[in-house]
Structure 1
């Protein structure tokens, strides 16, 4: 006889903004029993229509499932939820452990965007409340959830992660980063840093060309392939960072420093703010002053790290 299919794991989702709603919907479509809670109860309506069960309080949601997924606005909101579940927090004694409390034996997967320090603090709190804690960083917009393009970084309690990995895989690819709870947030913020840095250049470039009434959409047809080609150099920069060998035969920091005033001068002449780019000029100046004129862009990674 064929082996019986495992019973889908019940999941509780706390936080039903655009991303939280997308997560809950993905679990429902995959056949998992889903309980949902949101500070504004009206947000539960569309998911209840899909088959989710509404919870009146976070404690009710936690009680309903062994796997609890949080996707709130900030980690301060996660702290507030833990305050309620811990009946006012950890008390004067600090991490005293609350065996038998509402979180005892639960796996808490926090997919709220936050910092590595916050993730480590929340892991300590959740553990003290009897839960197993996994932190996550979602690399997708809500519309991408459950698609092949979506994936999530995870870190923290590895045994809990492995226990629920197949359920979490409903949301997208799963990428384990390590037992330090802060690593998923670090990976997440690192990729987002690259994204925001890229879009910083995009908005500056479009602001510049729009001063002469050049169509932004028209210009994007040039900008996108150029930026894509330049991104091809990132692996070489990364290799230089890892090896500590920063000499270049492409473009030195001295060349960049000499050219950069042209950007700032043109921005000013065209009536475009220089506030996004002035810090980069200052870093180039420091690199050359400290004797790295012949090095490539990879040297700036070391200059940015405060030893």
Structure 2
């Protein structure tokens, strides 16, 4: 067994995801120490070869790399602020869900205590951990990521995003925004077609074609956003807004909820009122990037 598969690792937090993380490390050959507030959650892992630490401090002492996966950042601080916990000299990889401000604050907290810190986000369900389908995002100092990448590879497809500790959290929610937007658009279309007796399974192949076409537009639209120039190469926003009105009218006519298309049209109407009607759809980035009080 080579050095890459003998690195001792600790896993703090043994919910379904924490158990999956520890299990993948064990399967890859890493000596794995685990800790959980409810110790019985470690039973199967101990049977598979893990060592159960009596305290968080003991778990930290057993490994140079500690993976944290607990309820939230408040729970992280409550655990690590205990008197016996001394993280100095260790690398903490926090895969707890939270926001970018919490990630950056946690990095400062770790640095003040002499620990190295990477923040992360898991874009997978527990059963996918340990396979290529499990995408796990990391942000923080690249040297710390590279030092432990061979170990983290046991968890899935690990991706380094940059030195800003908040990037993993931001990518996480950006991915959720994309996911829900695609699903919401599909649900709107499904609801419309069901009024004509077309079931979801029949509509879905067409929906997938449309989604694939739209993804092809993204690189060109990204160039427009990054350059701040939105020439109407395909369609002007003032043309798009007429199609939005048609979607709203059709939805209301057949008795389908029109709240979502009305929301998007309201954003487009504001952009047109601000003088952007002759520009292309990505000009709406200004609307998405501006908070509203109402």
* Partner residue, 1:10: 8
Partners in 2 of 1:50 and 1:276 — Cα distance? 49
Are 1:235 and 2:219 counterparts?
Answer: yes
Structure 1 residue ranges without an equivalent (≥5): 88-99
Is the 2:25–2:32 Cα contact (8 Å) retained in structure 1? yes
**SS of 1:68 mapped into structure 2:** strand
Is the 1:82–1:126 Cα contact (8 Å) retained in structure 2? no
Q: 1:241 to 1:106 in 2, by over 3 A?
A: same
Are 1:303 and 2:287 counterparts?
Answer: yes
Partners in 2 of 1:254 and 1:268 — Cα distance? 22
Partners in 2 of 1:61 and 1:226 — Cα distance? 50
**SS of 1:277 mapped into structure 2:** helix
Measured after TM superposition, the shift of residue 213 of structure 1 is 4.1
Summarize deviations over 1:167-190 as a string: whole Å, max 9, x none.
112122332222221122222322
Question: Which residue of 249, 252, 263 corresponds with 1:268?
Answer: 252
Partners in 2 of 1:39 and 1:231 — Cα distance? 44
Question: Which residue of 93, 106, 120 corresponds with 1:122?
Answer: 106
* Partner residue, 2:276: 292
Q: 1:171 to 1:274 in 2, by over 3 A?
A: same
Is the 2:103–2:165 Cα contact (8 Å) retained in structure 1? yes
* Partner residue, 2:136: 152
| Divergent runs of 4+, >6 A | none
Structure 2 residue ranges without an equivalent (≥5): none
Measured after TM superposition, the shift of residue 101 of structure 1 is 4.9
Q: 1:249 to 1:70 in 2, by over 3 A?
A: same
* Partner residue, 1:139: 123
Partners in 1 of 2:198 and 2:55 — Cα distance? 54
RMSD between superposed Cα atoms in Å: 2.2
Q: 1:274 to 1:50 in 2, by over 3 A?
A: farther
| Length-normalised TM-score, structure 1 | 0.86
Q: 1:291 to 1:80 in 2, by over 3 A?
A: same
* Partner residue, 1:191: 175
Q: Which moved more, 1:104-113 or 1:180-189?
A: 180-189
Measured after TM superposition, the shift of residue 40 of structure 1 is 3.2
**SS of 2:139 mapped into structure 1:** strand
Question: Which residue of 40, 43, 61 corresponds with 2:41?
Answer: 43
Higher helix residue share: 2
Summarize deviations over 1:29-88 as a string: whole Å, max 9, x none.
11001122233333222222322222343233223222110112322222222233xx4x
Q: 1:235 to 1:55 in 2, by over 3 A?
A: same
